[in-house]
Amino acid sequence: MANVEGLIDENIKIDHAKEIFTDLTHISPPENDSAIRSVYQSERLLGYIFYSTDFTQLVGYSGEQIKLLIGLDPNGKFMGVKLIKHSEPIFLHGMSEDRLFQFVRQYANRSIFEQIVVNRRQNKDIGKIDSGPIYIDGISRATVTVMAMNNIVLDAAVKAARKKIEGFSQQTLARLNTTLYEPLNWQELINRGYVNEWEISLSQIEAKLGKPVASYPRQPEDLVKNVKSIKLYYGYLNAPIIGKNLIGEGDYKRLLERLDFNEHAFFVTSDGALSHTVSNFTPGTAPDRLAIVQNNIPLRIQDSNFYNFLPRALAAGIPNADQANIYLATSHVGISLQEKFQFQFKLALQRNALFQDSATVNDNFTLPTELFESSLESNRNQPLWKSIWVERKVEIVILLIALFFLTVLFLNQKRINTRMLVYLRWSFVLFTLVFIGIIAQGQLSVVNIFTVLSSLLQGFRIDVFLLDPILFILWSYTFISLFILGRGLFCGWLCPFGALQSLIAKLAGLLSIRQIKISDKLHSRLIKFKYVILAVLVITSLVSMQQAEMLAEIEPFKTTFTLFFSHSYPFVLYALIILGAGLFVHKFYCRYICPLGAGLAIIGRLRRVESLTRIDKCGSPCQFCSRKCNIRAIGVNGEIDYNECNQCLECAVILKDSNRCVDEILINKMQKRLQKKMPASGLTPSNEIL
């Protein structure tokens, strides 16, 4: 595990905490074994600080925990996140860790109430603020790592907040469904319960007062004489189906831009018999007659003074629209949107110059459930792999179609004509290089074998392998194919580096580059070298996974496809030498060095099918396939060594070629001789043979 700061002990260092809380003067010890420490500036509470590993067991792409130091203010806002330790291989032996530091800095000033999403495709505005997700910039080629880190940060922060922040345990962290919208008029909003119509009878107020309103010498100026009841209307504006329909799309967007995190807007108007505001109400201040309560805790509400300069664009039919107000509500313990609210109307009546009576009438309401998606916390508790599979669904579908096509091709290879078989072969090689290797990042590696072995020894967790759907699908398909056809289906068709070497060999042929002749004796020794490399790597992985991952750089896959040669100079030079060697020795790396190929070949010995056709003349007398097999998997006796074969189907093409296969040539010669004899004998070729 990489110790980013050289910190091994579990105590929070003051210097690390100061990077998150710059004004701190001291940190309190943990209380009640909660692992959370309070941070102070003198006597003022700045917030809380804790390690992610104390609150979540979520792991990174490596299968190991990522340790982060997280700071929250008392309202659930992130003060900062600091990376302490990790075991992510791409950053240990490839990308700079500075990119991880830059990634975690994006959490500062975000809130646990927000839906924070890693922007993998970078096709949305970074830091976008509306009632939907907040997008933070991901790291190209390290998607799974940063998505795992995001889950770790959010999961740990919510669990810590529930332990420390007062009242937070009551919340469900509901998230608005920002896609829910349709045009609705005023009456439709009321009918659906999106706007609450609250009728308050004068008798209700008088019951609270204990006397008739008319008995008070000083009555409110806006109280209409002989009124029997008053009506109030209110609605939750953050929800787009309510906000856009009530105040218009332009003002709705302007409102969202003004809202701070955990700030909620309510629309209120009344029918004019008795206003929801006093006659001398000052815009921008707290209302005298209205209050909102949740869990017996009053929310802080104040008028937004939203229409101080711009004209109103309210929906038609709203009563007393010119007196409607937009109030902003917040709470020091947060607001749970899916829990019950209590709207309160307060009426104060002056008994005399010194004393007044007041009556408070309550209206309980709950926002309609269709306004929300699943709660943030339950969503965070969903396995990370599920969201990754959904996000990569297009790539998954393309890969599955390609694998289905490849399966059909191999099942029907004997029925496909020669020219079409060659065309399909090279088309799929290009697909493997471009889509599987470059776009989908689906290069399998011997490191994946280490991960499986480590998981089996430490307790198998399939969710770790599901984090990369492309690799999971390829491994599953390859593993099954090993028991049917051996290693060749993967090495010849699904390995991006193998595809690149095939294209390099093709280029060498087009350029007429002379190939280096390797003797049979040396070749038989060299093909064993990859098994020695595999053994060394496996043994090393059992001792130290980190050392094994370093030694696994003998595979130039990461340099070539993950980093696109943006690696340190020795690794780039090594990859170029390996690829260059392929110009002079056909698929040099695959045949003599590849530890992954060696591992697959060992399992492939259990194969059940010999898919490539052989005939009696193969090997005796015909040696054509043996000479043309660039991988040298066909022996002089005509038999195929499936442990070395890449299933390129070149020998299958030769067997169908009447100009190259000896058997086909002899048959053609015999038919020609028979055709010459036919005029003299009057026999058909079939009669002659019989």
pLDDT digits (tens, 9 = 90+) for 143-174: 778 888 888 898 888 888 877 765 454 444 55
Which ranges of 445-568 does DSSP label H, i.e. alpha helix? 446-458, 462-465, 469-482, 488-489, 496-510, 520-526, 529-543, 545-551, 557
| Dihedral angle sign, alpha carbons of residues 560, 566, 571, 577 | positive
Domain end, chosen from 371, 394, 422, is at 371
The answer to whether residues 392 and 367 belong to one domain is no
User: 211 and 136: one domain?
Assistant: no
pLDDT for the residue numbered 610:
77
CA gap 294, 343 in Å, rounded: 9
Same domain, 200 and 164: no
536 with 668, same domain: the answer is: no
Q: In the numeric block, which tokens belong to residue 338?
A: 């899916």
Tell me which residue of 409, 403, 476 sits closest to 444, measured CA to CA: 476
139, 146 contact by CB (below 8 A): yes
pTM: 0.64
User: Which range marks the domain in which residue 562 is found?
Assistant: 384-604
Q: Pick from 141, 170, 199: which residue ends a domain?
A: 170
- Tell whether 156 and 240 lie within a shared domain: no
Query: Which pLDDT band holds residue 350 (cuts at 50, 70, 90)?
Result: confident
Among residues 115, 140, 170, which one ends one of the domains? Answer: 170
User: How do residues 489-537 score in pLDDT, each as one tens digit?
Assistant: 999 999 999 999 999 999 999 999 999 989 989 998 999 999 999 999 9
Mean pLDDT, rounded, for 265-272: 89
Query: In 3D, which of 638, 634, 689, 629 has the Cα closest to residue 663?
Result: 638
Rounded to 5°, the CA angle 556-559-561 comes to 95
Is 488 in the same domain as 582?
A: yes
End-to-end CA distance of the chain: 77
CA distance 241 to 181: 4
Same domain, 556 and 489: yes
Q: 385: which strand partners?
A: none
Q: Calculate the alpha carbon distances from 362 to 190, 203, 278, 359, 474 in Å.
A: 19, 14, 19, 10, 61
162 located within any domain:
yes
CA angle 545, 550, 551 (to 5 degrees): 95
* Residue 649 is assigned to a structural domain of this protein: no
Query: For residues 310 and 298, what is the distance between their CA atoms, to the nearest angstrom?
Result: 31
Look at 431-435, 467-471, 636-640 and tell me which has the smallest mean pLDDT: 636-640
Residue 643 maps to a domain: no
Residue 622 lies in a domain: no
**Residue 471 DSSP SS3:** helix
Tell me the pLDDT tens digit for each residue of 623-656. 778 788 888 888 888 788 888 888 888 887 777 7
Q: How many domains, the chain?
A: 4
Per-residue DSSP letter, 303 = E
Both structure tokens of 341: 């609210």
My answer on whether 307 and 455 are in the same domain is no
Residues 32 and 136 in one domain: yes
Mean pLDDT: which of 3-12, 87-96, 128-137, 394-403 is highest?
A: 394-403
Would you say residue 632 lies in a domain?
A: no
Provide the pLDDT for residue 476: 94
Q: Does residue 472 sit in the same domain as residue 539?
A: yes
pLDDT(135) > 70: yes
Are 345 and 241 within one domain?
yes
- Would you call the peptide bond into 621 cis, given omega within 30 degrees of 0 as the criterion? yes
Examine the pLDDT at 120 and tell me if it is beyond 60.
Answer: no
Same domain, 294 and 441: no
Q: What is the enclosing helix (H) or strand (E) of 136? A: strand 134-137
pLDDT at residue 181, rounded to an integer:
92
Closest CA to 246 of 294, 300, 190, 186: 186
Inside any domain, residue 177: no
CA 291/CA 190 separation, integer angstroms: 21
618 inside domain: no
Q: Is 132 helix (H, G, I), strand (E, B) or coil?
A: coil
Give the ranges where 362-495 is alpha helix by DSSP (H): 376-380, 384-391, 393-411, 418-431, 446-458, 462-465, 469-482, 488-489
Would 379 be classed as within a structural domain? no
- Average the pLDDT over 430-446 and give the result: 93
